[in-house]
Amino acid sequence: MYALVDCNNFFVSCERVFRPDLEGKAVVVLSNNDGCIVSRSNESKAMGIKMGTPFFKVKHLADAGHLHAFSSNYALYGDLSDRVMSILADAVPRIEIYSIDEAYLHLEGIDPGKVPQLCRELVDKVRKWVGVPVSIGVAPTKTLAKIASHFAKKYKGYKGVCMIDTEAKRLKALELTPIGDVWGVGRRLAPKMQQMAVMTALDFVNRPKDWVERTFSLPVVRTWEELQGHACVEEDRDERRKSICTSRSFADMIEDENELMLRVSDFAALCAKKLREEGSAACDVTTFMYTNRFREDLQQYFPSATIRLDVAANSAQEIVGAALRAFRTIYRPGFRYKKAGVIVSNIVPSGAVQGAIFGFDEELRSRQDRLSEVMDKVNRAAAGGTDSSGKSLIRLAAQRPGHFADGIRRDFCSRLYTTSLDDIIEVR
């Protein structure tokens, strides 16, 4: 059995932890540069506000006091997520963190009769200890657990825990689930299925397996198996991301070459840090830049360039250096750039990196690796043992002073309640 724990309206819930006065009120959290809505309270959903709505379209509601808007505070969200996951990890034999607000609990070895009580205790404990409401779906497969968690969140009668543990419950849940809401189907594939009279998850599982195999790819076949109650989506512990991208839209368009280089250096350094955290290295480094496609009165330019490293790397020096080499090949003066980013790809385990036959300086690589290790340790210590604040005491000379988030519009950002001593709430 699997239990999917899903934090309800997570970003909004994080903001409410330190603002209990917002309970029962319409709240939204905005994307980078305060662009679009990425998290909504139930109250804002009831107002008809859709996910991805540009903030300017609803700003009048905020100005009138009917809507509370917050800029994304990822340092806060990341820290609270870590606290939630720690509680969950202590309760079960194995946890599989799926995203910042979701985790699968593997329930093998736990008495099935005790699972409902365990889940109810976790709902209460996370709410009491962290302040974040969660919903839990329990089922024999991950896909069914995902459906169960949706019901646990949607219907108050479940009190946060929904179990699909009988055949009758499975069939009823599938009947009530639109095909587009099934994990592994989604919005792109749903219209195709609907044209084939597959409107619900039950319609899908009632189709013969050979028809599913003829019509769809292997992942969809596995989804069909999962909906039948046969677990086949297992955790691949050796699976690595094929690529890592760090990019941002700028608060204001940038023309200055040096300023753009500093931004690209920041993006590349963060990609390198993510590689080291995952024990990976990358062979390819891509830099891209976009002008503002919505400004038809301005010249448009959307270049990108890729540098292939002779030897896969994860040090900030090498990744930043490659990103800047790519930048210099595509930068053109006279354009106003709205977005830039860096992608590292062709990722391999760092332990499997082999040197090139010619021109590879093993001693230089060793010094760079040691330097990166020291920088990571110092920066973690400066951030109180976590990198979630985005603070870097030590950085490359090619990077901008300050924080990674500097230069991003965050007019409605809350305090760093849990990661900054200056922002800790004082009780008087």
What DSSP string runs through 178-190? BGGGSTTTHHHHH
pLDDT band at 358 (very low <50, low <70, confident <90, very high): very low
Nearest CA to 10 out of 80, 58, 71, 70 is that of 80
pLDDT averaged over every residue in the chain: 86
The first and second tokens of residue 113, run together, are 């009769």
Q: What is the pLDDT of residues 23-61, one digit of tens each?
A: 999 999 998 778 899 999 999 999 999 999 999 999 999
The first and second tokens of residue 254, run together, are 């940038």
pLDDT value at residue 117:
95
pLDDT value at residue 387:
46
Q: What is the pLDDT of residues 269-323, one digit of tens each?
A: 889 989 988 888 999 999 999 998 888 889 999 999 999 988 889 888 899 999 9
Assess contact for 14 and 415: CB atoms under 8 A: no
Q: What is the pLDDT of residues 92-126, one digit of tens each?
A: 988 998 889 999 999 988 999 999 999 999 999 99
166 or 184, higher pLDDT: 166
pLDDT band at 332 (very low <50, low <70, confident <90, very high): very high
Q: In whole angstroms, what separates CA 165 from the centre of its chain?
A: 30
0.85 exceeded by the pTM?
Answer: no
pLDDT band at 410 (very low <50, low <70, confident <90, very high): confident
pLDDT value at residue 388:
43
| Helix/strand/coil percent split, the chain, to 5 | 45, 20, 35
Domains in the chain with CATH codes? 9-76 (3.40.1170.60), 78-227 (3.30.70.270), 243-382 (3.30.1490.100)
Residue 382 has pLDDT above 60, yes or no: no
Residue 390 has φ and ψ, to the nearest 5°, of 80, 5
Mean pLDDT across 211-220: 91
Q: In whole angstroms, what separates CA 49 from the centre of its chain?
A: 22
pLDDT value at residue 407:
55
Q: For the ranges 75-89, 208-222, 363-377, which has the lowest average pLDDT?
A: 363-377
